[in-house]
Amino acid sequence: MSIFKGAGVAIVTPMKSNGEVNYESFAEMIEFQISNGTDAIIVCGTTGESSTLTHEEHLDVIRYCTEKVAHRIPVIAGTGSNCTETAVYLSKEAEKYGVDGLLLVSPYYNKATQNGLYTHFKTIADSVKIPVILYNVPSRTGCNILPETVIRLCNDVENIVGVKEASGNISQIAKLAAKAQGKVDIYSGNDDHIVPVLSLGGIGVISVLSNVAPKETHDICAKFFAGDIKGSTELQLKAMDLCDALFCEVNPIPVKKALNLMGKEAGSLRLPLTDMEEANAEKLKKAMRDFGIL
């Protein structure tokens, strides 16, 4: 059973000027997402700056999000780590809060072998009962989860159900889809690849774009599933310049800037991330105006 189908937002973690989590703004963002048709909320992922949250903050943000959503749509908690023991701890705590699933990034810096990845993910998944989505983003982790490893995990571990594929390698995703034979829920991890991944049998996207354009991102998926491939493709192509602008600096720098421009009070970033360069900010503003959200 899939955790969700459609567009899930990889939601930002808004910050106050003093660097603390801004829960008031976070609540408003959650409501903005739900009211605009987002199909799931993914909290404390890359976009949520999980790497610079303390363990206490990380868990507080997950708990708060789960309580605010109150089962209206699924909540998936990012609880991955390059330390298996830490990931087990975060995952077990998140499960206690009532999240609907977990997103587990491949261990960064360690650069584990495929057997190491298998054992790492299996150990975490075996520690909980809720469903797990693997997160493959080799550009940030230095480690690629091969299709064979994804399929082996989904076959061997009952609650590992899918993968967020952010490798950007369409050939690899096609190979995964061909070999998985429908046994792996594949989510696009790149906003400029939503329609291509859906066309290969994917069931949705875990999206940065959804932070600023939740309805449109939802509609890309909904139109595709309804058989309106032309309408889905048109929306995907319309969003391409905005997708490009949202990744012209490392995520989540641009998306936080975009939300601030929209009056959403995403706030500042935690070091080592810094404010957007002015030339890139102008590019982002233009893309937002052209898309109709500014």
Whether 89 is catalytic: no
Could you give the 3-state DSSP secondary structure of residue 184?
coil
**Active-site residue, from 96, 122, 135, 230:** 135
Side chain identity at 95, as an amino acid letter?
E
> 79 with 91: CB under 8 angstroms?
yes
The separation between CA 22 and the C-alpha centre of its own chain, rounded to angstroms, equals: 20
Residues 6 or more apart whose CB falls under 8 angstroms from that of 272 comprise none
For 44, 135, 192, 205, 258, the CA distances from 140, given in Å and listed in that order, are 16, 11, 18, 18, 22
> 269 with 289: CB under 8 angstroms?
no
**Active-site residue, from 92, 109, 164, 256:** 164
Distance CA 274, CA 122 (A): 36
For 122, 147, 152, 269, the CA distances from 114, given in Å and listed in that order, are 12, 10, 11, 33
Q: Which residues on neighbouring strands pair with residue 9, listed in sequence order?
A: 41, 207
Whether 129 is catalytic: no
Distance CA 273, CA 103 (A): 22
Determine how β-strand 160-165 pairs with β-strand 40-43. unpaired
Could you give the 3-state DSSP secondary structure of residue 266?
coil
Torsion angle defined by CA atoms of residues 206, 211, 215 and 219, in that order, rounded to the nearest 10 degrees = -30
- Residue 30 class from Cβ within 10 Å (0-12 exposed, 13-18 middle, 19+ buried)? buried
Enumerate the active-site residues: 135, 164
